[in-house]
Amino acid sequence: MSGVYINKISKFLPNAPVSNEEMEAVLGKINDTESKARRIVLRNNGIKNRYYAIDAQGQFTHSNAELTYLAVQQLFDAHFSANDMEVLSCGTSTPDHLLPSHAAMVHGLLKNRPLELNSSSGVCCSGMNALKYGYLAVKSKSAKNAVCTGSERVSSWMIADRFTKEIENLKELEQQPIIAFKKDFLRWMLSDGAAAFLLEDQAKGPISLRIEWMESYSFAHELEACMYAGGDKLDDGSIKPWSDYPADEWLNQSVFALKQDVKVLNENILIKGVESMAAAMEKHGLTPDDIDYFLPHVSSHYFVDGLYQKFAEAGLEIAKDKWFMNLHKVGNVGSASIYLMLEELMNSGQLKSGDRILLSVPESGRFSYAYAYLKVC
């Protein structure tokens, strides 16, 4: 087996940062009415700025594939070119198309050479799944290098006109023209961007991060879906897919909107996070003392204190001064969030040889968790 090293990380965040007060002007007001949920959600999530692939005129400036391509482009230099790439592994929750795959669309923009491709679907863990594919390709010596990405262009799912037909339908039915909290909630949580890792079989450059191990856990066998799109949740917890709805209901019910069952989220996200992390640490003989930097992807600062407390109760207390997050600066960029955190840390100048980093990524889709343990070389 080969060693696997993250030798370079790059990112692309579109346009100027958008403040809390500017969000509704960019995304639009549904039914020309201010959201009652916006201030509450923003107060809890602690996000101050985020990025949207939307210009001042309300036009989309980049596709998801273009965001990813622009992040990947920044990996190339005199030592590694587009034609040196052997594997391209891309994760996203919000691909531009049902088909072809997201990785194929990014490859199409690169116009470099025949490559091995992998597209990882899902929610936030799709970025980690993309990383694991690249990690295993290099580790098994199937390839000497791999470019792995996480990206989102979720703003296109959140703009007000996506809900116009649903509002019109509610008015016709003489019901309150207000979209459900499960949809409105996510409009104030998510943002756009992309980042990329260059994995190679040798350490190169001033700083390299050796991937010691990766672990993933799903609890879908015992928990119902929490975050979903392209369908709607029924009373029994199952999801009726978009293809089972009459075509006129796709718009009238905003079937393709992202939705989150907040009750199911609050009941399970922290408990299963601690359970899965305990399993990963026990498997690899890791203790909190073996962690110098802890990078947890959290969707909201609302969860931070609770997560810390749950870890402490489980005997896994990681001192707060070891936690490294940038949620307040870049927003929740889903599958790209962990890439953006590690990019900032790696380029911060504060890492030194021997430092140990634990990445932690939860996904509320149907409760999956992914971990990676890195050492600075």
Tell me: do 70 and 99 sit in the same domain: yes
Confidence class of residue 117 from pLDDT cuts 50, 70 and 90?
very high
Enumerate helices (H) and strands (E) in the chain, giving the number of each.
13, 15
pLDDT in tens, 323-345: 999 999 999 999 999 999 999 99
252, part of any domain: no
60, part of any domain: yes
pTM of the complete model: 0.96
Q: How far is the C-alpha of 58 from the C-alpha of 284, rounded, in Å?
A: 49
pLDDT at 180 over 90: no
pLDDT at 182 over 90: no
Q: How many residues appear in the chain?
A: 377
Tell me: do 20 and 94 sit in the same domain: yes
Tell me: do 191 and 334 sit in the same domain: no
| Average pLDDT estimate for 205-217 | 96
Tell me: do 16 and 104 sit in the same domain: yes
279: buried, middle or exposed (CB in 10 Å: 19+, 13-18, 0-12)? middle
195, part of any domain: yes
Tell me: do 179 and 318 sit in the same domain: no
233, part of any domain: no
Tell me: do 196 and 283 sit in the same domain: no
pLDDT at 173 over 80: no
* C-beta separation of 191 from 52 below 8 A: yes
Q: Into how many domains does the chain fold?
A: 2
pLDDT in tens, 90-109: 999 999 999 999 999 999 99
Tell me: do 197 and 272 sit in the same domain: no
Concatenated DSSP letters of 99-125: SS-HHHHHHHHH-----EEEEE-SSTH
Tell me: do 37 and 183 sit in the same domain: yes
Tell me: do 65 and 165 sit in the same domain: yes
Tell me: do 185 and 282 sit in the same domain: no
335, part of any domain: yes
pLDDT in tens, 42-71: 999 999 999 999 998 999 999 999 999 999
**Peptide bond just before 100 cis, omega within 30 deg:** yes
- Domain extent, residue 294, equals 212-220+260-376
Tell me: do 38 and 186 sit in the same domain: yes
* C-beta separation of 361 from 128 below 8 A: yes
Tell me: do 216 and 77 sit in the same domain: no
Q: How far is the C-alpha of 242 from the C-alpha of 109, rounded, in Å?
A: 30
